[in-house]
Structure 1
Amino acid sequence: MSEKNREGKRTARERLAVEREKQKASERRRRTLIVAASVVCVLGLAAVIGVVAANAGKDHESESSGPVVAPSGAQGKDALAIPVGKDGAKSTLTVWEDFRCPACKAFETAYRSTIHELTDAGKLKAEYHLATLIDGNMGGSGSRAAANAGACAQDAGKFTAYHDVLYDNQPEETDDAYSSKAKLIELAGKVPGLVTPSFRTCVENGTHDSWVAKSQAAFRSGGFTGTPTVLLNGKNIYQDRTMTPAKLKQLVEQGDQNQG
């Protein structure tokens, strides 16, 4: 083989290697963009996996019996809202969520620090309503058990911290890991001072199960389309494709100034 032919083949191999590297780089960029889009979680992207129709599937409202025991400090109609922040805040963020819902976790990932900042500053009051949509659509009882455990944490004055732990450790949507009360108590160990005999009893006995069922019924009757449903002063901002944590902060601070 002539030197010229060898050189030509070498050049062709080098071009092929360069092209492969370009393709690999392009694929890495594509994957990065997909991950980034998931983390940013622009509120209007209701197609994110885990957003489920409120009237789809069989829910578990009827499976909870016994007295309706609202968690300590619950507010609003039928005491179905768990409040976070100061009552005097000028803006109210209403969140309907399901601890098994991946889209709810995506919302938390993107907006948690902003919500904490605004509630801690007294500019925003958050009201959390717990739903059990994934139980109805995917089967199982993890949504209900986790919601009950969240209400038990509210009784102990540690709802926010435990709420965050549940999302940080959320299992796959098809994995009903949160149906294990032992698992929920184990995760509570990540919140200092939460695991007490009263908390264990509350989780194991499903003290707030009927309250959770009533909250789910309110979600269905409210005509909402899925979780998370996020309302700022009554306006559904989850449907706003331009919404970002920075925009949410701006809206809340403007409202605080206008009403100050």
Structure 2
Amino acid sequence: MSEKNREGKRTARERLAVEREKQRRAEKRRRGLIVGVTVVGVLGLAAVVGVVAANAGRDDGGEKAGPVVAPSGAQGKDGLAIPVGEESARSTLTVWEDFRCPACKSFEVTYRPTIHELTDAGKLKVEYHLATIIDGNMRGSGSREAANAAACAQDAGHFAAYHDVLYDEQPLETDDAFADTGRLIELAGKVKGLDTPAFRACVRDGKHHSWVDKSNEAFRAGGFTGTPTVLFGGKNIVQDRTMTPAKLKQMVERQSGQG
């Protein structure tokens, strides 16, 4: 490997680490704020309980939550995983991600070619779980709307392609551009066969909003420290500073009996 390539991979890892640290600090600040508000609210517990009850079943925009509708083909516990790749693949990569998350995009840029190669070859299956932590950290609803749109794309059989488009077109973390369903529908035009009346209605109506909320609850309940969380063999490979696309490929091929 050339010195230039080694430097490029090192830079990508460092960028991913920086973004995850920023995310961790933002989450810590958010939790601190919640704790502070809770302490103050003890004096008015009855009123707080009333507010919580009044807002139960509503999302951040005040919209009443609907039934949990999993996208077509969703798998795993509570149908929260969107699978990509052959079911018969001997290796599985579990990815927890947020479409507004810069660190998730950094992971995508670095690992996408290798993941595509392995899934296309039938050696790897990827289970995608969608989270909305940036909406909580930065405020907004872009993570939720983008995740809903991705679930709509799964209904149409175009999740993988649309997933990649969302990362290619990811706005700045502070720009809640994905909250605009019109923008999400516009991006569907980059995926052949996706921009249909059914897809548009699914995106505009928030068909999978409650499913996205449930997925995010599962992320928090899992005790993960941030996105992306990428599990292979039960270990978060994002936390392994020695991990590279080449090493991941080697691990998958070893499990496939080809390494």
Q: TM-score, structure 2 length as denominator? A: 0.81
Shift, 1:39, TM fit: 6.1
Which residue number in structure 2 is paired with residue 41 of structure 1? 13
The percent of aligned pairs where both chains have the same amino acid is 68
Structure 1 unmatched runs, 5+: 1-31
* Residue 114 (structure 1) aligned with residue 114 (structure 2): yes
CA contact (8 A) 2:71 2:151 kept: yes
Question: C-alpha offsets along residues 157-193 of structure 1, whole Å, 9 cap, x if unaligned?
Answer: 0000000000000000000000000000000000011
Shift, 1:47, TM fit: 2.9
Runs of 4 or more consecutive aligned structure 1 residues displaced over 6 Å after TM superposition:
none
Structure with the higher fraction of residues in helix conformation:
2
CA contact (8 A) 2:156 2:199 kept: yes
Q: Helix, strand or coil: the match of 1:145?
A: helix
CA RMSD of aligned residues (A): 2.5
Which residue number in structure 1 is paired with residue 231 of structure 2? 231
Separation (CA, whole Å) in 1 of partners of 2:126 and 2:108: 13
**How many pairs align?**
225
Change in 2 beyond 3 A, CA 1:103/1:71: same
Change in 2 beyond 3 A, CA 1:39/1:126: farther
CA contact (8 A) 1:145 1:179 kept: yes
Separation (CA, whole Å) in 2 of partners of 1:242 and 1:50: 18
Shift, 1:46, TM fit: 3.1
Which residue number in structure 2 is paired with residue 72 of structure 1? 72
Give the letter aligned to residue 40 of structure 1: A
CA contact (8 A) 1:38 1:106 kept: no
Change in 2 beyond 3 A, CA 1:208/1:75: same
Question: C-alpha offsets along residues 77-96 of structure 1, whole Å, 9 cap, x if unaligned?
Answer: 00000000011111100000
Give the letter aligned to residue 12 of structure 2: V
Greater CA deviation, 244-253 or 46-55?
A: 46-55
Shift, 1:151, TM fit: 0.2
Which residue number in structure 2 is paired with residue 241 of structure 1? 241
* Residue 170 (structure 1) aligned with residue 170 (structure 2): yes
Change in 2 beyond 3 A, CA 1:232/1:168: same
Q: Helix, strand or coil: the match of 1:96?
A: strand
Q: Helix, strand or coil: the match of 1:241?
A: coil
Which residue number in structure 2 is paired with residue 24 of structure 1? none
Change in 2 beyond 3 A, CA 1:147/1:39: farther
Higher relative contact order (CA 8 A, sep 6+): 1
CA contact (8 A) 1:95 1:231 kept: yes
Separation (CA, whole Å) in 2 of partners of 1:147 and 1:50: 23
Give the letter aligned to residue 97 of structure 1: E
CA contact (8 A) 2:99 2:143 kept: yes
Structure 2 unmatched runs, 5+: 35-56
Shift, 1:52, TM fit: 2.3
Question: C-alpha offsets along residues 181-210 of structure 1, whole Å, 9 cap, x if unaligned?
Answer: 000000000001100000000000000000
The 5-angstrom pairing of residues 83-102 of structure 1 reads 83-102=83-102
* Residue 52 (structure 1) aligned with residue 23 (structure 2): yes
CA contact (8 A) 2:20 2:226 kept: no
Separation (CA, whole Å) in 2 of partners of 1:49 and 1:55: 10
Q: Helix, strand or coil: the match of 1:230?
A: strand
Shift, 1:40, TM fit: 2.9
Greater CA deviation, 61-70 or 107-116?
A: 61-70
CA contact (8 A) 2:27 2:137 kept: no
Q: Which one has the largest radius of gyration?
A: 1
Which residue number in structure 1 is paired with residue 53 of structure 2? none
Change in 2 beyond 3 A, CA 1:243/1:40: same
Q: Helix, strand or coil: the match of 2:239?
A: coil
Give the letter aligned to residue 142 of structure 2: G
Q: TM-score, structure 1 length as denominator? A: 0.81
CA contact (8 A) 1:84 1:127 kept: yes
